[in-house]
Amino acid sequence: MPKYLDFQKIKESVSIEDAAKRLNLKLKQSGNQLRGECPSCKSGNERVLAITPSKNVFFCHAGDFGGDCIALVAHVLDFSMRDAAEWLTEPDMKPEVQKPKQEAKTEKAVQFDPEKFAARLVYVEEMQTLGISEDDAKLLGHGYHPQRKAIYLCSRNPDGSIAGFIKVRDVNAIEAPPRWILPSNVVPLVRRA
């Protein structure tokens, strides 16, 4: 019967850097990551394997695979997860004492500004196939976003504020309404002289 392996204990006792050193991975510091070539995928790109020591994880962009120290060993050596965990617990594996984790810097989350997004939308001729005139597009907040290279239709709350945007992937796949702006039900009263 195979011996019991406590995967959680192994992950806590062996840092991702220790596993990378034991695997003899050639890595270079790049910001808060270590980058190098993946010996398993052999892509030839020296930045395809990204190890983030602060989070104790890795990601191989060539293999589209990531995980902890056990997954790193399994990926590089083409082992099962169990074999990789055993490999990490072998006596010649002497992990360094893990440094206490630094508190993550609290960064301000970038808030989405719908008004700013709507201001970047421009009218393009493809919108004519949806039955949207240039004037209607300006009034409704519809348009083409040059950086995202897509048409966006603005959705509004009852109070007139922007609720969100709908990305149009295929202009021909949408069944457009006959009119985007309905005529007003307000009848102006004209006083005869």
Q: Domain boundary at 89, 124, 144, which? A: 89
Residue 186 covered by a domain: no
Q: How far apart are CA 24 and CA 57, in angstroms?
A: 17
User: Is 57 inside a domain boundary?
Assistant: yes
Residue 107 lies in a domain: no
CA angle (29, 34, 35) in 5-degree steps = 100
Residue 187, in any domain of the structure: no
Is residue 101 domain-resident? no
Q: Which residues of 23-34 are buried (b: 16+ CB within 10 A; e: fewer)?
A: bebebeeeeebb
Say if 72 falls within a structural domain.
yes
Residues 20 and 80 grouped into a single domain:
yes
Q: Which stretches in the chain have pLDDT values below 70?
A: 1-2, 91-109, 176-193
pLDDT of residue 2: 67
Concatenated DSSP letters for 166-190? EEES-GGG----S-SSPPPSPPPP-
According to the model, what pLDDT value does residue 96 have?
42
Task: Write down the pLDDT at residue 12.
Answer: 85
User: What pLDDT, on a 0 to 100 scale, did the predictor assign at position 94?
Assistant: 46
Residue 88 DSSP SS3: helix
| 160 within some domain | yes
Contacts 24+ apart (CB under 8 A), 117-126: 117/145, 117/152, 117/165, 118/143, 118/154, 118/162, 118/165, 120/145, 120/146, 120/147, 121/145, 121/152, 122/146, 124/151, 126/151, 126/171
Work out how many domains the chain is built from and give that number: 2
51: CATH: 3.90.580.10
pLDDT at 180: 60
State the residue range of the domain holding 27. Answer: 7-89
pLDDT of residue 105: 58
Neighbours of 49 (CB within 10 A): 30
Same domain, residue pair 136 and 83: no
d(CA 132, CA 127): 6
CA–CA separation, 56 and 33 (whole Å): 10
